[in-house]
Structure 1
Amino acid sequence: MVMEEARATPDSVVSEFEGTILRNEDPFSYFMLVAFEASGLIRFAALLFLWSVITLLDVFSYKNAALKLMTFVATVGLREPEIQSVARAVLPKFYMDDVSIDTWKVYSSCKKKVVVTRMPRVMVEMFAKEHLKADEVIGSELINYNHRNKNLELRPLPVIFHDGRLVKRPTPPTSLLILTWIPLGIILAAIRIFLGSVLPFWTTPYVSKILGGQVIVKGKPPQPPAAGNSGVLFVCTHRTLMDPVVLSYVLERTKIKQQLSKGDLVVCPEGTTCREPFLLRFSGLFAELTDRIVPVAMNYRVGFFHATTARGWKGLDPIFFFMNPRPVYEVTFLNQLPVEATCSSGKRPHDVANYVQRILAATLGFECTNFTRRDKYRVLAGNDGTVSYLSFLDQLKKVVSTFEPFLH
């Protein structure tokens, strides 16, 4: 049943966001996300250190004062587009994890839906309208001084695209743990990257376990191409920028450029990463290259920091991956496609791509979508599509330069 904070008729509903649509009524962790993602570690730490003051204000019934203090520390000096960017790309994932399905069932049955929030409207509006299908969002205003789910009718639209570095919602204990871990994580990442660049491939599984990481390999990878034979095309799901590096370690093919000259090639037909259990639409271009296609299901698990981001310097992505206490990569080799499933037998590239997408999704337990890279950046950057693809390519070049020692 809808809690008492929501008022509903058969045609309309007015519901509070915190404590009703969301199970948790404390908005502190969402302000922590804004502080971290829009500003950085200093503001994140400052807000965490004020948590005890905010809690005391709440205890003594000064809830408005506590809310104003959180809002001020998290947003002062930020431009509205910066807050909107976090609200669009980061917050929806954490909101979705906290949605009360029982409340949602009643809420979604009404035609007219209004959401009331204690947080600034800009932090909630995008999620409420896009995922909860709210008609209106009522919240405080900041002053500027300068479809594929089968049970979709029973739950909010899933969050497929989201951004930001933090994996867990930064509650006060979690925030303190993250702050404490970051210096250790930086040192651990430097050690992992250094050892990975100088030690032989065969030592990787042992060194990874000693340093807390793990690479899980399932299936049997094909043998390296013999003299005179062309290599195979590894068609991978795209989870992080580490995908081709991890695959090269698993295959123990030491010189990537030399292997390319012999024929082996790794492609990620999605064109960009997706964090959630969904696969983006596969481009059919790879199917035109060869009939020797080996699908590879890539997945990863991290505890503190995401290894991909659409905002900021992408060269930091591998560093954030190795900063996690126990990063895990899973690599599953599937059987090479039979000739009758390739373009050699007359299949259209589009059909081959769809088939590969389906079998990889089934292996991982993911869902297929028709979304593309353009859709991802349109969602994360806003409907105006303000993300510059030239800027994106410039950042990609920086990532390549980060892995230059692996390529030569």
Structure 2
Amino acid sequence: MAFVTFCGLRTGDLRLIARTVLSKIFLENLHLHACEVLKGRRAVVLTTLPRLMVEGFLKEYLEVGEVVGAELQVVKGCYFTGVISWPDKQRALRDMVKAGAAIVNLSNVHHHQLSAKEIYVVREEESRSESSKMPRNKYPKPLVFHDGRLAFLPTPCEMMAFFMWIPVAIPLAVFRIAMGIVFPYKISIFIAAITGI
């Protein structure tokens, strides 16, 4: 699956996607206790996901020190091949000793018992319950979705406002497109600015 997903993708594109879109997904599934444990510590996170996918989120939102995970191989310095190489787990475990704490799931506790001073076990059934997920008002930073607007949970009031905007939005979009086609570039930029672009 990783080959199909990443083959031929530019490295900059993945960093952009990981930083914007994946941050939203990770925040919505963030375990409350894990976030409290990581807060204010130099942490090293060992993950089975490709490092580039989670590193931006972990460093920006949870302020971890280092992320160790699978590496995506690159060709010509800027394109992913789709092949994943796994990191040196011994180095990761040595880094965890320096960090002092490990957050693990029940299946891989034994890997970390000798390497971390504190071990926090997150059980699978506990991590899936809604009560263990971090509520939006406790996010470490506000969630800004990839298009630059604040992402919101669609409540009935917000959805009503959205559907009431559609009759205005469609003619406005058609007008903006028509002005871009009919007028020269310099004039169409001015008209676009007036109509809110």
TM-score (normalizing by structure 1): 0.24
Q: Quick check: which has more Rg, 1 or 2?
A: 1
TM-score (normalizing by structure 2): 0.47
Which of the pair has the greater relative contact order for Cα pairs under 8 Å at 6+ separation?
A: 2
